[in-house]
Amino acid sequence: MNDSKDIKVSIIIPTFNRKDLFELALKSAINQDYNNKEIIISDDNSTDGTRQLALKYTNDFDFIKYCVNEKYEKGPNGNKNNGFDNANGDAFVILDDDDLLLPGAISKMVSVLKMGYDSVWANCYFEINGTRTTDFSGFGLDKSQEINPQDYYDGRINGEFLIMFMSYCIGDKRFEKGLYGSENTIWIHLFDFKAYYLNEAVRIYRFHRQDSVTLNSHQRPHCVMKGYAMTAELIMQKTTKIDKRYIAILYKMAGYYAKFAGEYIKMYKYLFYSLSFKLTKEAFIMLILTPFPKKLILFLTKIRVKMYNKKNEK
């Protein structure tokens, strides 16, 4: 548990070839009213002038540090690992380079840590295809409160949050090589400590339909498959009170992406794992579809995503 001292916060901004959006994110971090902060720019070897822009800001502000990802594999998770390695704060928070911190975000989150919590999960406003909304991007909780870890293990807390956590919560843990997304493989360890949900938006989360992880993840099926399977395994390590339906869904998704990865033995293994935990129609339908071509399954997935998006827009 933190000792409520004047907490130094490391705002980690991983970036790659999004110079204009990155500068907006950086400015939103610079303009925070919390003074005891550092900003770590982790650049995944951008080629669009991001380096020159970042160095200009490091000359203007002594609390900004620019570092190129040379140690970890190229990609969002490796770039975040590079940010962790170069951060010196008592607490860390990751700001994606296309998102924005709202005024007072860091101060509000630090005030929660000073209450004796080790991580704070704050909500965000969606900005969808350039249109800013007042809809929250994180789901599962409707008031500020301490988080019951079991709610996270059971999949009841999901969506996008801005998470600030004391650095000791992860220690030397880093995102594993070969994952796409799957941030929950790190976040799950935060529930070894006390966590708090702040029912207030502190970030603008930009969501682009064409960049949907659901659709783009098919370009990295091995990585996504691994992430779902790892999440299920981590949950079962953390608790004996598992939600069998949620574990079944995770393994079903691992089986789904195994199909696209051409890992047919793993596909059947994960689907049968899924059905052994809970007989769900989702896993059963996927099992029926396994002989069909990948293109047909992807086509059906795109239809499902479009229907889901239209439903949520109403």
Q: What is the DSSP letter of 218?
A: G
Question: For position 308, what pLDDT does the model report?
Answer: 61
Model confidence at 11, pLDDT cuts 50, 70, 90, reads: very high
Percent of the chain with pLDDT over 90: 83
Looking at domain 9-207, its CATH architecture is Alpha-Beta Complex (3.90)
Per-residue model confidence as pLDDT tens digits over 110-156: 999 999 999 999 999 999 888 999 999 999 999 999 999 999 999 99
What pLDDT does 210 receive? 52
Q: What was the pLDDT predicted at 71?
A: 96
Beta bridge partner(s), residue 149: none
Give the residue-averaged pLDDT of 267-280. 97
Cα atoms in the 13 Å half-sphere on the side-chain side of 199: 9
Question: Does 201 score more than 80 pLDDT?
Answer: yes
Q: What would the mean pLDDT of 65-88 be, rounded to a whole number?
A: 96
pTM: 0.91
- Could you tell me where in the chain the CATH 3.90.550.10 domains are found? 9-207
Q: What is the mean pLDDT of the chain?
A: 93
How buried is 96 (Cβ within 10 angstroms: 0-12 exposed, 13-18 middle, 19+ buried)?
buried
Helix (H) or strand (E) holding 110: helix 105-113
14 and 76 Cβ atoms separated by less than 8 Å: yes
Residue 162 dihedral angles phi and psi, to the nearest 5°: -100, 125
Q: Are 123 and 109 in contact (CB under 8 A)?
A: no
pLDDT mean over 12-40 = 98
pLDDT tens string 45-64: 999 999 999 999 999 999 99
Is residue 215 scored above 70 in pLDDT? no
* 254 vs 235: CA distance, rounded Å: 15
